[in-house]
A and B are shown apart, each in its own frame.
Chain A
Amino acid sequence: MIRLEKRPQPSRAWSMATPLVAVLATMVMGGLLFATLGKNPVEAIRTIFWEPLFGEFAFYYRPQLLVKGAPLVLIAIGLSLGFRAGIWNIGAEGQYIIGALTGAGVGLAFYPTESWIIFPLMVLAGAFGGWAWAMIPAVLKTRFGTNEILVSLMLVYVAEQLLASMSLGLMKNPEGFGFPGSRNLQQYDSAHNAELIAGTGMHWGVVAALIAVIFSYVLLNRHMLGYHIRLTGEAPRAAKFAGVKPARLILFCLGASGALAGLAGMFEVSGPSGQVSIDFNVGYGFTAIIVAFLGRLHPVGILLAGALMALTYIGGDIAQGNLGLPSAAIQVFQGMLLFFLLALDLLTNYRIAIGKPEVA
């Protein structure tokens, strides 16, 4: 009989090895999937994982990994703080949208004045917008005990409507012949979140993501607040005795994740995306939840998980273009990858034993 035995200590070796095993397993299963769709499995797998990093056009795709990964990491870092404490912000997508709206709003308000102060103001406005949007569920929770999962999720839909309304009304480009969408901030130097070094994909959002990783690592490991967050998640009763004030923690965790999501939205709208439009948001806020858990809520893990997700997106698009794989197949493949990564994590904490259990 096969059974699981809990390891006294999580295995370090396995915690390093499982992601690799999972990726290999996904390659095998994904390969079978691609083969049943009539595509060359080896070629498909190679295209997804190898092409963006080391292929002929890697010079272009590598910077794109940063562009795609940065918002995911930035949002996921914020979410991970709350998730560790058992505070569930599912609405990062909404905070991302609002951050983009407030950030872009400030920039557009100054148009066409050129000044170095505009961009920093936009950064502040973006962070504030996301923070304020996250404060709604936070305050409702601390005041009335309203469930934050539901409120934050509902606010995503509200934010989407606001976004549509802004792109059709207030922020519509006056020189856009009546079409929806704002001015392109890429063409407005003071508001443009440009690449810091051309051709590297490195923009302020990437820098912010890296700072967030370091900051979150320090917070969780070296700071009293981080200790309280971890304690609340792992042992809520103990946390109470240790003097943790739940309300303050809720305000902090939701506020921080909202601010980071807002920042991500602001950096996106002023940089890679360039304009406020009806379909500005592409689901980063939801994907970041997966990234947070894939990274085991650990800052460095999140960094790696964000990079991996970005890789599968970019590689997936290349596979669509080059091999004619439907995007649905790529989605299934990503789903498999997540399943294997999550399931095999088991081996870190448990060992598989064969034989009868000892009588305890």
Chain B
Amino acid sequence: MKLTKLLAGAAVALGLAAGGALAQDKTKVGFVYVGPVGDGGWTYEHDQGRLAVEEEFGDKVETVYVENVAEGPDAERVITQMALQGADLIFTTSFGYMDPTINVAKKFPNVKFEHATGYKRAENVSTYSARFYEGRAVQGTIAGHMTESNIVGYIGSYPIPEVIRGINSAYIHAKKVNPDVQFKIVWAFTWFDPAKEADAAKVLIEQGADVILQHTDSTAPQAAAQAAGNVVTFGQASDMAEYAPFPRVSSIIDDWAPYYIARTKAVMDGTWTSVDTWDGIGPGMVGIGEITDAVPAEVKAEALALKDAMASGEYHAFTGPLNKQDGSEFLAEGEIADDGTLAGMNFYVEGIEGSIPE
């Protein structure tokens, strides 16, 4: 059996070699991943975006990726490697790749770079990120209605602006529909440890939470909620539809495909310029997974209306009046938070208990 596979492998390789001669007119797109494509979360969704690019452009693109690339010198080497091997466009998909991306970009002015979730740009470096907090607003609304114990559990990874923004957004909208709601926040202090996430979810449920929001990628909280029986959860990063219709009643989906396709197209057309993209529900970068029938129809309608209002730009998730946790004013009546404040958000809004670890 091995021999036949060996021969098959050789044949494939020959095919690749023959294809290589034509590679000149292909657009080569590189992806650098921080985790394995099998993580079922962050990296998995970026890889889905890569596959969508292949699907869209077929023979006209060649995509390459390297997974499990540590931040720091390894990232710099792998990005350089892709540039050396003739990539036209490189997506670096972790915050920690920021400085390495900028460093490499200086050496390869003709290659285009796209760095996810960072804030440093250059002539040939764009940044892009998703307004996940819009999805959190939808979740908060559903959570506020669904909770009976008025305790919502929240599993955070690390206390960084991205996560804090999500907590605030969810809290604001839960509070709006349910003034008695209280958030219990547990920090896992890890990006990835499914067993710890499972423990965290169980702890929150044991302490009375009947809705769990998570900013970690594993389905561990879903399973814990299912075992508990009456706890509501939301999918994170991917749809986690295998836990629908209950406990998973909706989800936030990272959908990078439209952006990756558009940027690849821009490189092909020669229209690529350095931009700072921060897209939300409207352009489709943040997807809201199907709201299941476990949610009462009027709640579902309210959540969808909120989603549409944010998609059309008619409503912003951070609209005043809002105070900070210490009672000082954050936003005046009708005022909308600017992107700079949101990007570096390092405070809770009024009403959330506990302090942000430093």
B88 at the A/B interface (Cβ < 8 Å)? no
Q: Are A282 and B189 in contact (CB under 8 A)?
A: no
Residues of B contacting A280 in the complex (Cβ-Cβ under 8 angstroms):
71-72
Residues of B contacting A179 in the complex (Cβ-Cβ under 8 angstroms):
95, 119, 160-161, 344
Q: Are B80 and A279 in contact (CB under 8 A)?
A: no
> Chain A 170-188, CB within 8 Å of chain B: the 1/0 string?
1000000111110010100
Smallest distance from the beta carbon of B215 to chain A beta carbons, Å?
14
B279 at the A/B interface (Cβ < 8 Å)? no
- Give the residue name and chain of the A residue nearest to B3 (CB): A35
Q: Are B70 and A317 in contact (CB under 8 A)?
A: no
Q: Are B158 and A168 in contact (CB under 8 A)?
A: yes
Alpha-carbon gap, A40 to B95, bound state (A): 34
Smallest distance from the beta carbon of A307 to chain B beta carbons, Å?
16
Pick the interface stretch among A111-119, A127-135, A224-232, A268-276.
A268-276
Q: Are B84 and A57 in contact (CB under 8 A)?
A: yes
Q: Are A277 and B96 in contact (CB under 8 A)?
A: yes
Alpha-carbon gap, A327 to B34, bound state (A): 12
Contact check: which of A186, A268, A282, A321 meets B78 at CB < 8 Å? A321
- Give the residue name and chain of the A residue nearest to B9 (CB): A35
B295 at the A/B interface (Cβ < 8 Å)? no
User: In the complex where A178-B343, A179-B95, A321-B65 touch, is A43 in contact with B158 (Cβ < 8 A)?
Assistant: no
Residues of A contacting B16 in the complex (Cβ-Cβ under 8 angstroms):
40
> Chain B 79-105, CB within 8 Å of chain A: the 1/0 string?
011101100000000011001000100
Residues of A contacting B6 in the complex (Cβ-Cβ under 8 angstroms):
32, 35-36, 41
Smallest distance from the beta carbon of B23 to chain A beta carbons, Å?
12
User: In the complex where A39-B12, A273-B72, A328-B36 touch, is A168 in contact with B64 (Cβ < 8 A)?
Assistant: no
> Chain B 58-82, CB within 8 Å of chain A: the 1/0 string?
0000001111111111101110111
Q: Are A168 and B9 in contact (CB under 8 A)?
A: no
Residues of B contacting A320 in the complex (Cβ-Cβ under 8 angstroms):
65-67
- Give the residue name and chain of the B residue nearest to A71 (CB): B73
Alpha-carbon gap, A164 to B187, bound state (A): 12
Residues of B contacting A177 in the complex (Cβ-Cβ under 8 angstroms):
119, 161, 340, 343-344
Chain A residues near B (Cβ < 8 Å): 32, 34-41, 43, 57, 60, 64, 67-68, 161, 164-165, 168-170, 177-181, 184, 186, 268, 272-275, 277-280, 282, 313-314, 317-318, 320-322, 324, 326-328
19 contacts between A and B (CB under 8 A): A35-B2, A35-B10, A36-B6, A37-B9, A38-B8, A43-B13, A168-B159, A168-B160, A177-B161, A178-B161, A180-B158, A277-B96, A280-B72, A317-B69, A320-B65, A320-B67, A321-B78, A322-B85, A326-B36
The 5 closest A-B pairs by CB, nearest first: A40-B13, A178-B344, A272-B73, A169-B358, A273-B72
